Amino acid sequence: MTFSDNIPGAGDASTLVTTTGGGANQVRVRAYNERLVLSLVRRNAGVSKAEIARLTGLSAQTVSVIMRSLEKDGLLMRGEPTRGRVGQPSVPMRLNPDAVYSFGLKMGRRSADLVLMDFVGEIRLNRHFTYPYPDPRRIIDFVTRGIADLEAKLSTTQRAAIAGVGISAPFELWNWAPEVGAPAGAMDAWRGFDLQAEVAARLPYPVYLQNDATSACGAELVFGIGPRYPDFVYFYVGSFIGGGIVLNSALFVGRTGTAGAIGPLPVRNKNGETRQLLEIASIFVLERLLRDRGIDPQPLWYAADQWIDFGEPLEIWIRDSAAALAQAIVAASSIIDFSAAVIDGGFPGWVRERLVRATVEELNKLDLQGIVVPDIVEGQVGAQARAIGGASLPIFNRYHIDQTVLFKEIENAEGA
Please say which residue of 77, 96, 115 terminates a domain: 96
Residue 183's pLDDT band (boundaries 50, 70, 90)?
confident
Residue 369's pLDDT band (boundaries 50, 70, 90)?
very high
Residues 333 and 247 in one domain: yes
- Residue 402: the pLDDT is 57
User: Looking at the 3D structure of the chain, how many domains does it have?
Assistant: 3
Residue 31's pLDDT band (boundaries 50, 70, 90)?
confident
Q: Give the CATH number of the domain where residue 86 resides.
A: 1.10.10.10
Residues 368 and 232 in one domain: yes
Percent of the chain with pLDDT over 70: 88
pLDDT 10s digits, 262-283: 999 999 999 999 999 999 999 9
Residues 355 and 375 in one domain: yes
Residue 407 lies in a domain: no
Residue 149 lies in a domain: yes
Residue 227's pLDDT band (boundaries 50, 70, 90)?
confident
Residues 48 and 115 in one domain: no
pLDDT 10s digits, 69-108: 999 999 999 887 776 655 566 789 999 999 999 999 999 9
Residue 415's pLDDT band (boundaries 50, 70, 90)?
very low
Mean pLDDT is lowest, of 18-22, 149-153, 232-236, 351-355, for 18-22
- Residue 115: the pLDDT is 98
Mean pLDDT is lowest, of 160-169, 180-189, 228-237, for 180-189
Residue 210 lies in a domain: yes
Mean pLDDT (whole number) for 296-305? 90
Q: Is the pLDDT of residue 158 over 90?
A: yes
Residue 89 lies in a domain: yes
- Residue 411: the pLDDT is 44
Residues 236 and 354 in one domain: yes
Q: Is the pLDDT of residue 410 over 60?
A: no
Residue 23 lies in a domain: yes
- Give, in order, the Cα–Cα distances in Å from 61 to each of 42, 57, 93: 21, 11, 16
Q: Is the pLDDT of residue 52 over 80?
A: yes
Residues 265 and 353 in one domain: yes
Residues 19 and 147 in one domain: no
Residue 348 lies in a domain: yes
Residue 408 lies in a domain: no
| Dihedral sign for Cα atoms in the order 138, 175, 243, 316 | positive
- Mean pLDDT, rounded, of the chain: 87
State the pTM of this model: 0.85
Look up the domain containing 11 and give its range. 1-96
- Residue 238: the pLDDT is 94
- Residue 302: the pLDDT is 87
Mean pLDDT (whole number) for 286-297? 95
**CA 359 to CA 170: how far, in whole Å?**
25
- Residue 32: the pLDDT is 86
Residue 195 lies in a domain: yes
Cβ-Cβ contacts under 8 Å for 83 (sequence gap 6 or more)? 89, 90
Cβ-Cβ contacts under 8 Å for 333 (sequence gap 6 or more)? 233, 341, 371, 372, 373, 374
Mean pLDDT (whole number) for 315-319? 98
Higher pLDDT pick, 22 / 259: 259
Residues 229 and 366 in one domain: yes
Residue 404's pLDDT band (boundaries 50, 70, 90)?
very low
- Residue 180: the pLDDT is 74
Q: Is the pLDDT of residue 376 over 70?
A: yes
Residue 407's pLDDT band (boundaries 50, 70, 90)?
very low
Residues 155 and 292 in one domain: no
| Greatest Cα-to-Cα distance within the chain, rounded to the nearest angstrom | 74
Select, from the ranges 6-15, 50-59, 234-243, the one with the highest average predicted confidence (pLDDT): 234-243
Q: Give the CATH number of the domain where residue 346 resides.
A: 3.30.420.40
- Residue 17: the pLDDT is 31
Q: Is the pLDDT of residue 367 over 60?
A: yes
Please say which residue of 96, 127, 142 terminates a domain: 96
Q: Is the pLDDT of residue 165 over 70?
A: yes
Mean pLDDT (whole number) for 118-123? 96
Q: Is the pLDDT of residue 37 over 80?
A: yes
Residues 127 and 71 in one domain: no
Residues 135 and 80 in one domain: no
Residues 196 and 243 in one domain: no
